[in-house]
Amino acid sequence: MAGLAVLGARESTVLPPAADRLPSMAGPSVRSAHVSRARRVEAVAALSDLSPLSYQQFPPILHPGATGSIRLVLDVVGDVPEVVFRRNVPSSATGHVEELWSRLTTRSVAGRLVSIFEQTYPGTILSDLLVYPHGHDFPQVPLGRLDDPGGSGESATVWLRIASTGLPGSTVRLITPSEGGPATVQYASHAVNLVLPGFDDARIESAGDGYALEAAAQAFYRDFADKYQSLAFVPHRMPLAPFDTFNRTVWSDLEGIGMPFADDRAAFGGTALRAVQVLPAGFLGHQATLLHQLAHHWGDRMNLGTIAGIAPAGDDPDRHTPLLYPGATLVGGVLDGTRQVERVVTGDGVERFEIARPTAPVRFHPLQLYRMGFLDPAEAPDITVFAEQAQFASQRVSAPAVGTAVAGARQAVSINAILAAFGTRGGPVFTEWNQAVVIVSDTLLSQEEMDYYNFYAQRAAASTGTRAYDGFGSFFEATGGRASLQTRILTRDADTHPAITQARDVGDVAFGTGDWRGLMFDEPIPGRLLTSTTLTLRGNIDPEVLPGSYQFLIIRASRFGDAPGDAITVQTAVRGGRFVISLRFPADGAGAYAIDAFVFVDGDARPIPTSVITPLFVD
């Protein structure tokens, strides 16, 4: 590995493997078996006794250099004296430690008991957790997993929200009730905060959709414009569920795409409203999750496997795209959006199919674009559906290694067969989709929380400059430039409560000077560079996080898709706590990079990791 010669060839100086990106929908990553994927259904069932309910994080927003305590308050439905929590400790041999939490107290909701647990950790646990890749494209890290006290074998991830030290501020305004009393609504340029106690507790009482979505929507429309096709609700009490994000169709009048007709607008109070979503924790800032849930308004409910006479498999196959060729899909039931099937013809004319990586930014499948109304039937390709739908995993989405053979028989499905099954696509076509981001809490959020959510709500609407490390881009890019997403907040009474206009750079955002735990850079680090560029970084070791004396610093840049051994690795000396280090990206080095850094006490010491930050783009 380049740059290690000064330290010598000692085993203790070997760096850990380059970080894998944490997938949201593709099952556990190599780095952690404790990472959940996003939910892909349209409703949440009512919770039974012994069901995990929700958790809260204090402080609500963490920064990489945090040194104070981190407190978790966790609720479980029913009489539960203790729970098992598997806290992530990547530096340990097993990758986690098992903790037994004892109940602190209880509360009652509609006559049902809720057990409350509380646990406090020192901020030093972040030194382990920040080695999970995170950054502008994934603003959270997994603290660990709560075992289901009901004994189902399922577990739920507890995420910690992490903000960049360069997080921009926001202008925030309160809306005071006309009848008097304290304000229960505040808004910024791209995010609304509603105070609605019991929003999450409704999952205990309800036999239907779980959260008090109708009540939250009605509260929203009292003060804000009825112009949004979707409302994205972010519960401040983060849900404890194996799958914790979802979409619910409110109004669908689309013909010929397999979606059932629906019109529940009266219950929600919005005449333009077509869908509501729940995006907890930091999933608002995760492009793959955002795109996946938006895509659910148009399907995939075509059941292509059924048309082809093939038994379905994968995650919720009635609502997701099967294993097929050609094209990647953002609503896959078998393959994650970072994978697609590629046809290869050898020199002797033999045809085979294998797993490939799509070109970034990942786009909606042509059939999805057809369902959205952007392609005519003649422009939709014929589809090859594979008979062995469960060859990678029978009930979840997978990301097989690039080059993996796709085995088994296959069946062609033409657009004419789709038209015969569903008829001609009809209904509105949206070249602009308006979505309001609404954080629902028990009390008004702090300024810092509003800054966090407002930044990611605005970032979701950017056309370019927000691509994630693993290739997921904006809604505009996913549609091939055919449609844009708008998240600006407009009030119902623009004279009394005018919209907030605030210029803010949300594309190719620089990293903050303290985004790598234990390091303090002199200047923000750019988020995008040109190839053949040398990036020179100056800074110092943060003595509050890393007290003591250090001799060496190594920075590693790992390009998405490359083998770990191909990472760019550079080393410099640390003198008096100060360092200067230069990282050069070659002419053929275009791509998305994760940047991690290590410090060494001396040449004999083991590397001390700081953070793994994504994404730095080179083009």
What whole-number distance in Å separates Cα of residue 111 and Cα of residue 219? 26
What are the beta bridge partners of residue 554? 571, 598
What whole-number distance in Å separates Cα of residue 616 and Cα of residue 595? 7
Higher-pLDDT residue of 33 and 487 is: 487
What was the pLDDT predicted at 19? 56
pLDDT digits (tens, 9 = 90+) for 414-441: 999 999 999 999 999 999 999 999 999 9
What are the distances in angstroms from CA 138 to CA 71, 456, 512, 564? 21, 10, 15, 21
Which sequence spans correspond to the domains of the chain?
5-15+510-618, 52-161, 173-299+429-486, 304-359+373-422
Contact criterion met (CB below 8 Å) for 36 and 61:
no
DSSP 60: S
- State the average pLDDT over residues 350-361: 95
- State the average pLDDT over residues 395-414: 94
Residue 205 has pLDDT above 60, yes or no: yes
- Residue 154 pLDDT level (bands cut at 50, 70, 90): confident
How many percent of the chain have pLDDT more than 90? 83
Contact criterion met (CB below 8 Å) for 170 and 154:
no
What was the pLDDT predicted at 242? 64
- State the average pLDDT over residues 209-222: 91
Contact criterion met (CB below 8 Å) for 387 and 501:
no
Residue 17 has pLDDT above 80, yes or no: no
Residue 581 has pLDDT above 50, yes or no: yes
What was the pLDDT predicted at 615? 96
Average pLDDT, the chain: 91
CA angle 531–557–364, rounded 5-degree value: 75
Is it true that domain 52-161 has CATH number 2.60.40? yes
Q: Provide the whole-model pTM.
A: 0.93
Residue 34 has pLDDT above 90, yes or no: no
What was the pLDDT predicted at 150? 86
What whole-number distance in Å separates Cα of residue 280 and Cα of residue 437? 11
- State the average pLDDT over residues 178-186: 91
Residue 360 has pLDDT above 50, yes or no: yes
pLDDT digits (tens, 9 = 90+) for 51-79: 999 999 999 999 999 999 999 999 999 99
- Residue 603 pLDDT level (bands cut at 50, 70, 90): confident
What was the pLDDT predicted at 279? 93
**Residue from 516, 498, 534 nearest 611 by CA:** 516
What whole-number distance in Å separates Cα of residue 23 and Cα of residue 288? 9
Residue 402 has pLDDT above 50, yes or no: yes
Is it true that domain 5-15+510-618 has CATH number 3.40.190.80? no
How many percent of the chain have pLDDT more than 70? 92
- Residue 44 pLDDT level (bands cut at 50, 70, 90): low
* Numbers of helices and strands, H then E, in the chain: 10, 33
For 253-279, the DSSP string reads --BSSSPPPEE-HHHHT-SS--EEEE-
Residue 311 has pLDDT above 70, yes or no: yes
Residue 562 has pLDDT above 70, yes or no: yes
What was the pLDDT predicted at 203? 87
- State the average pLDDT over residues 474-491: 98
What was the pLDDT predicted at 346? 86
What was the pLDDT predicted at 179? 84
What whole-number distance in Å separates Cα of residue 384 and Cα of residue 351? 14
Residue 372 has pLDDT above 80, yes or no: yes
CATH topology agreement for domains 5-15+510-618 and 52-161: yes
What are the distances in angstroms from CA 458 to CA 169, 236, 434, 486? 12, 19, 12, 8
Neighbours of 450 (CB within 10 A): 22
